[in-house]
Amino acid sequence: MRNKLLWILFAVSMGAQAASLDSASLLAPPLKPVSEQPQAAHMVAELLTRHHYKALPLDDAMSEKIFNRYLKMLDSGKYIFVQGDIDQLQAARTRLDDAIITENLSLPFAIFNLYTQRGVERFTYARSLLKEGFDFSQKENFQYDRDKADWPKSEQEMRELWRMRVKNDWLRLRLAGKDDKSIVETLDKRYENFLRRVARTKSEDAFQIFMNAYAMSVEPHTNYMGSRAAEDFDISMRLSLVGIGAALAEKDDYTVIRELIPGGPAILSGQLKAGDRIVGVAQGENSVMIDVVGWRLDDTVAQIRGAADSVVVLDILPADATSDGEHKLVSLIRKKVTLEQQAAKKSVVSVVDGAVTRRIGVISIPAFYQDFEARGRGDRDYRSVTRDVARLMDELKTEKVDGLLIDLRDNGGGSMTEAVELTGLFVGKGPVVQQRDAQGNVAVASDTDATIAWHGPLGVLINRGSASASEIFAAAIQDYGRGLVVGERSFGKGTVQTMVNLDRVARNEKPVLGDVKLTTAQFFRIDGGTTQLRGVKPDISFPSIADDDDLGEASFDNALPWVQIKAVDYAPLGNVKAVLPALQSRHQARLKTNLEFQFLKEDIAEVSLQRKKNLISLNEAERRNEREAQAAKLASREILRGTSRTTQSDPPGQETELAMKTPTQDDGLQANERDLSNELAAEKARKSTKDVFLDEAAHILSDEVDLLKLEIRVASGNRTRFTGPF
């Protein structure tokens, strides 16, 4: 085995020597594992083979799975490796398990180094193509989605693939009105930025990718996180951090302030604004200023974050200054910053139904967050989504809303405890979800508070991005008959994860080993079914543009199967199904006259056809014709929207969410290439547009309010008039 390993390492090093001199000069020294990584790898293996819900041995069979996933994570589009590289690495296919067990990570790092070497060669070649230009009168097609394609068989085939890729990049910018000179400048900088990123790659990057190739080969939602990634995950759960209160982005060689967070030290100072560039950071008034130009974003962020009430000094190049303009120093005191943008929010949608206007309260929940640390130490004011929602509901009650809609679209989950407690606000005391561990033991998670915070009509809006804790909540509301579930079928993630801090296990004082998000159980609905693979099926379904092959649990090749266990004893609280036929009828009638849903059906058909084709023309005339046809279609839609506004309540000039999501003009640019002020303005416009899915969900809930009122009037012989929220 040792001879085979030495042969692979030798072959990889020879491959690197065979590269062009230009490429070699741009490539950073080969990465090597740092001292703590072999130990971390071994600890991860111990957890996955002993304590995982689907524990699998780390053997040659697992090594093959790791090998395939590692290559896919490195080069999913098949733009870097050629078949010869894959053939050269075949001996590693059954040796990656040994690398982890023996704590010798030379082999996975050699594979990563070969990837970076080939990446430099590819992007160096891409830059060379810019000197030649392209003939856009030729009839050529480009396969843009190569996830299922074969590896290029030769260097010649790889070069042809890159020629077409660069040609497409050029054509997109050309169609957007750029001249050849600016196109060359834009693309040359884009490809050079990749080379810069390669040069800044660290061993922790290679290690994290490899360990995730292992973890996700066991099960899709098991992950390894390095210390920084684990810190970011913790911040997302507690919705707070200690820092200056600024969202940062990387643009060219600069760390740029993208947004100032309300209430944070940065915005309160009055000295910073979006677009300002951070070129240096010092830890205190009299400390040495460290130049951070050309740094990775995460390295700069690590310098800016720090202990509460400590001082950080920023060297700022103002947004409106040239690169050699005058700098200014800004001294800030780090404070705890609350990320309110990621917290639950409320709004009210007014639904006009003839002479009646009903007010539907909406609470949008982006994640099931909780400050675990604060709760664990007994802090009575710890932050949680359940507490925030309870407060928002109290506010909506004072606004006298007729119904409540919980918006869980694109909510990927979070704390299961929060899902249980949030459900309790609507069903009171009782079972919410079942958990089955690896030994087959089933435990029932119940809410223990009998108080119901909202008795009125309830709706839950979900989509394909609603997963895990979102599905627990939506499924429980559906099983209890407590409310309507509308939208798309949910993601289908029915597994429970636990965070394991490896440094705590090893009793390290400093965080160096990282964390493992370990799948320890599978959850089941109280009716005995599971959301695994199948997700939550809405009571009323909306048309969906999502592709099951790309999004959802079913898209994973090693997802756990759908199974069923025994139901628990629970008492339904309502019978939504009784009014469902009438609600469905009204919904369908509205869709027939709803322009946006008609447009959506057209777009779904068009996207589906394009997915099947998986080809895009590189002929300029054909692409211009396609662009003009798209523009004409959108223009005709705007005319129809303008005509329909004479009979609808939408204010003039207000576009729909669907219209904003439809690509109107492809500018050919990547996010970090666009002007920041224009990008922020477009983002603000998207947030202010009408949301057709939310609007229809509110109409459905309004219909339910109307039908329930009608039932009450009929049951009481019209002697009792219904008033107020339920």
Write out pLDDT tens, residues 504-529.
999 999 999 999 999 999 999 999 99
Written as one string, the DSSP assignment of 314-343 is EEEE-TTS-TTS--EEEEEE-EEEE-GGGS
Interval 86-92 mean pLDDT: 95
Instruction: Identify the band that residue 662 occupies on the pLDDT scale cut at 50, 70 and 90.
Output: very low
- Bridge partners of 328, per DSSP, are 316
Instruction: Give residue 665's pLDDT.
Output: 74
Distance CA 696, CA 694 (A): 6
Residue 611, phi then psi, degrees to nearest 5 = -60, -40
Written as one string, the DSSP assignment of 223-245 is EEE-HHHHHHHHHHHHTEEEE--
| pTM exceeding 0.85 | yes
Instruction: Identify the band that residue 473 occupies on the pLDDT scale cut at 50, 70 and 90.
Output: very high
Angle, CA 681 vertex, CA 676 and CA 686 arms, to 5°: 125
Instruction: Identify the band that residue 530 occupies on the pLDDT scale cut at 50, 70 and 90.
Output: very high
Residue 359 near residue 724, CB atoms below 8 Å: no
Distance CA 252, CA 515 (A): 31
Amino acid at 637: R
Task: Report H helices in 200-288.
Answer: 203-218, 227-238, 265-269
DSSP state, residue 136: T
Question: How many other β-carbons are positioned within 10 Å of the β-carbon of residue 403?
Answer: 29
Catalytic residue numbers?
Answer: 468, 479, 493
Question: How many other β-carbons are positioned within 10 Å of the β-carbon of residue 355?
Answer: 5
Distance CA 454, CA 427 (A): 9
84-120 in b/e form (b: 16+ CB < 10 A) is ebbebbebbbbbbbbbbeeebbebbbbbbbbbbbbbb
Instruction: Identify the band that residue 683 occupies on the pLDDT scale cut at 50, 70 and 90.
Output: confident
Distance CA 480, CA 657 (A): 32
Amino acid at 671: A
Query: Is pLDDT of 276 > 50?
Result: yes
Residue 19, phi then psi, degrees to nearest 5 = -70, 160
**C-alpha dihedral, 143 to 144 to 149 to 153, nearest 10°:** 70
- Bridge partners of 502, per DSSP, are none
Instruction: Identify the band that residue 712 occupies on the pLDDT scale cut at 50, 70 and 90.
Output: low
Query: How far is Cα of residue 56 from the mean position of the Cα atoms in its chain?
Result: 28
Instruction: Give residue 211's pLDDT.
Output: 98
Write out pLDDT tens, residues 189-213.
999 999 999 999 999 999 999 999 9
Closest CA to 492 of 546, 537, 543, 539: 537
Instruction: Give residue 657's pLDDT.
Output: 39
Task: Report H helices in 594-691.
Answer: 595-613, 620-644, 657-661, 676-688
Question: How many other β-carbons are positioned within 10 Å of the β-carbon of residue 312?
Answer: 22
Query: Is pLDDT of 708 > 70?
Result: yes
Amino acid at 518: L
Distance CA 73, CA 217 (A): 11
End-to-end CA distance of the chain, in Å?
A: 72
Instruction: Give residue 680's pLDDT.
Output: 86
Element (H, E) at 394: helix 385-398
- Bridge partners of 358, per DSSP, are 351
DSSP state, residue 134: -
Q: Map out the domains of the chain with their CATH numbers.
A: 2-218 (no CATH), 240-338 (2.30.42.10), 341-575 (3.90.226.10)
Write out pLDDT tens, residues 159-183.
999 999 999 999 999 999 999 999 9
Write out pLDDT tens, residues 229-241.
999 999 999 989 9
